[in-house]
Structure 1
Amino acid sequence: MHITFEKLLYREDYQIKLDHIVMNEENGNRLALYFRGHTDEVMVLIGDYSCNYFELSFEADCVLLRSSDLHELDDGVEFNTIPLVLYKDSALLTFATAWMGLKRDTSRDWTHYAIRAFEQDFHVLSPRPPVFTDLGHKMSDFTVRHSFNLPTES
């Protein structure tokens, strides 16, 4: 299945797992999140080659929070099965506007991006949409080798 940014916004049957996070210094300190995705959660967990591999890259002035950082903030948002949800108004955005001065520059329209991944949800506040890059497929970084013919000692 070919993945697009739009599909991440509405596919309830699509599962994603964070591969790694990079602060890209060569590209103006953009925050790059790399994910594997598939409709079968087992394929995502084992890092199967059939998984889509993609990048979401946010501007350097974005704010990244994990869901565990938000345990005291009642967001008022129920669990959502869609991998990427956009909020123009949320408790997190209201809190950040009040305490972090996000709206000092009125030309920026901040958006709350809630990313649901395996074992960890992420929340990104960004004044601009992320850049989505489909990176095709990637082999898992882990190789498992089984040998039924044990080596003989010489």
Structure 2
Amino acid sequence: MNIKWAEKMRKGLHGSADSLGNLCVEGFHYLALFGIGGITAWAAVEAFLDMLSKGGVSVDDILLLFIYLELGAMVGIYFKTNHMPIRFLLYVAITALTRLLIGDVSHHKAPDVGLLYLCGGILLLAFAILVVRYASYRYPSSRALDAHGKEVDEGR
């Protein structure tokens, strides 16, 4: 009889610890997402106001705003689905390298081997997006899991 009581107590304690742990993890998850989203929005507004104060906008500035837009979209998608789409990280990287490439070409007169490295990096990232898209089309996920490993319906 004591063994049944102890086992019941252990299971109750384990369930309570799981619930508390899940609450802490989800709380941190949402706090971090709101923080990242807020900082991204703040940086985008700050960059926009800086553009207005300069009185002119360059292609570098527009690409910077696209980077902020993509980061915001990543936060929104992660918030809704608990999945981080790797493609958005690749898009951000391509946009950042393109911004660097345009800035490098417009500010330096003599092209060097660094220009080829940047173009090669963009090409490699574009190929990576192609591979990721093909893999997700050819081998779709049979089930989606939430942050706790439970199956969720994605409406597919």
TM class, shorter-length: under 0.3
Higher strand proportion (structure 1 or 2)? 1
Q: Taking structure 1 as the reference length, what is the TM-score of the superposition?
A: 0.22
Higher helix proportion (structure 1 or 2)? 2
Query: Highest Rg: 1 or 2?
Result: 2
Q: Taking structure 2 as the reference length, what is the TM-score of the superposition?
A: 0.22
